[in-house]
Structure 1
Amino acid sequence: MILETRATNTGENVAFSIERLKELGLFEAISSVIAVGSVSASRRYLMTLERHWPEVIKMIAPANKYPVDVADWPAHPEFAAEVLEEWGKVQPYLEAGYLRELNPSTCPLL
């Protein structure tokens, strides 16, 4: 496992990780990536990977910090607020070029 610690946002995290893998001579050997992070931001994480690293197969290992099942997010006010905040980021980030729509061939869960 290689940890990237310089990033201040998701796009930087992907870019810096790619840079580090290239420095280590490992970049060409990578064919799939697992993003680990908040369940609320899962789609945005995958869309960020699609923007910066479209050729890899993308997977997500979402973490749920709330005491309710993911399917019950609307019933938990903080969880709902976080999901809606993330949803609100997608379109502006797409328009700014930070994200790319997901390709089902490189993100098999779609």
Structure 2
Amino acid sequence: MTKILKVNAGAAPVDSWQPEGVTVLEGAPDGHGYTLFERTSSPQFGTGIFTSQPCTTTYELTDNEIIYVVEGSATLSLAGQEEVRVSVGDLVFLPKGHISTWVFHEPFKEIWFLVE
């Protein structure tokens, strides 16, 4: 990468998108996303924006995931661990190698980072 990339979280041109491997347990996520940058060679790294409508989903964290909540709230949990409620302004780290469950309580928007 040889230049600065920029997008406004409120005006990003999001497309219909649901992260790979997600299982919808309840509701209709109507996921949308925008990938600002993605490197698939080691060390892998990516960042972008994701939105979801109220629903419950689960998926395996194959990378370390960091999110910054821009809109809404959700309850996150890793298999066998205590739930964590997140809302606007929260910065969250989810370690790879776990099954995660996400309960989106209202329209939700995050800035995400995936790190190998």
Asked whether the two chains share a fold, i.e. TM above 0.5, the reply is no
The structure with the largest alpha-carbon Rg is 1
Structure (1 or 2) with the greater helix fraction:
1
| TM-score using structure 1 length | 0.24
